[in-house]
Amino acid sequence: MKKILVVGASGKTGRNIVKQLLELGHSVHLIVRTTNNLSKDILKHQKINITKASILDINEEEMVNLVSDSDAIVSCLGHNLSFKGIFGEPKRLCTDATKNLCEAIRSSKANSPIKFILMSSVGVKNKKIGEQRSIFDNIILTLLRWFLPPHKDNEIALDYLISSFGNSNKHIEWCAVRPDSLIDDKISKFEIIESPITTIFKGRPTSRKNVANFMTQLIGDNTLWSMWKFKTPVIMNEK
Ligand SMILES: NC(=O)c1ccc[n+]([C@@H]2O[C@H](COP(=O)([O-])OP(=O)(O)OC[C@H]3O[C@@H](n4cnc5c(N)ncnc54)[C@H](OP(=O)(O)O)[C@@H]3O)[C@@H](O)[C@H]2O)c1
């Protein structure tokens, strides 16, 4: 069984991941600002540890302690869907949290690489593999980059992982999971592909439970991890 650190654990996807990891017998450490959204089953679980803090307020030393006790780290952070969440500070929530966690992993100098799984979005391009989109999608994505800070945040977070850790690193192995539009539905069959095949306004929804299920599999299944590490899989519910 593994030890997993989850940030963004109070969110809709984060809560599903925590639940699924516990069901599989893993130990889970959460960093949350508030426990109000967490169920009693999670709060009282004997394999749960909670650090109550805002992720960007955790100092370097504490962060190194937190990551060095983990086999894998999952970030399901996202800007709250309110005016303040979308346009207020911190504008670089996902990027800064990713940087702080990854720099802490680097400093911890673990004997074997720690898995870092980032929840990204299908709207974020993987520049490393020269992903192309239609002219229309590129115009929309450019507008989103200028006018929607959370989109730019997701883009910079992925660029950081690619430019800092590329295709191999002795301390970190990363994977950025890119769901299409998220829905709250049951676990169902889903597809994992290397690059988007849908267009921005004709996407295929992904249930948060499926995203959680795929991330949970990435943590526990080393063959699956070997297929997707240092990559940006797109996840979609099967038709
Ligand atoms: N919505 C979509 O259709 C869609 C599609 C693809 C990808 N995504 C991406 O998926 C990710 C997660 O989605 P979700 O629906 O699971 O998100 P969510 O339910 O809104 O959860 C967001 C999480 O981030 C935390 N958070 C927000 N602002 C914070 C701050 N300033 N400091 C510390 N923590 C903060 C929240 O904590 P609190 O509970 O304390 O607020 C919560 O745990 C997002 O990055 C989003 O970009 C979304």
What pLDDT, in 10s, does the model give residues 49-67? 999 999 999 999 999 999 9
**The pLDDT of residue 132 is above 90:** no
Q: In the predicted model, what is the mean pLDDT of residues 30-41?
A: 95
pLDDT at position 225 over 90: yes
Classify domain 3-237 by CATH number.
3.40.50.720
pLDDT at 93: 97
Mean pLDDT across the chain, nearest whole number?
94
* Ligand 1 neighbourhood includes 34 CB (under 6 angstroms): yes
- In this predicted structure, the answer to whether residue 155 has a pLDDT above a threshold of 90 is yes
Is 90 exceeded by the pLDDT of residue 111?
A: no
Whether residue 149 has its Cβ less than 6 Å from ligand 1: no
Cα–Cα nearest to 198, from 127, 121, 129: 121
Distance (Å) from CA 10 to ligand 1 centroid: 9
Residues whose CB falls within 8 Å of the CB of residue 215, separated by 6 or more in sequence, listed in order: 17, 74, 117, 119, 177
Q: Does 190 have pLDDT greater than 90?
A: yes
Structure confidence at residue 200 (pLDDT): 78
What separation in Å is there between the alpha carbon of 151 and the centre of ligand 1? 12
- Distance of CA 12 from the midpoint of ligand 1 (Å): 8
| Confidence (pTM) | 0.96
Does the structure show a pLDDT above 90 at 127?
A: no
**d(Cα 236, Cα 210) in Å, to the nearest integer?**
9
Q: Residue 130: is its pLDDT beyond 90?
A: no
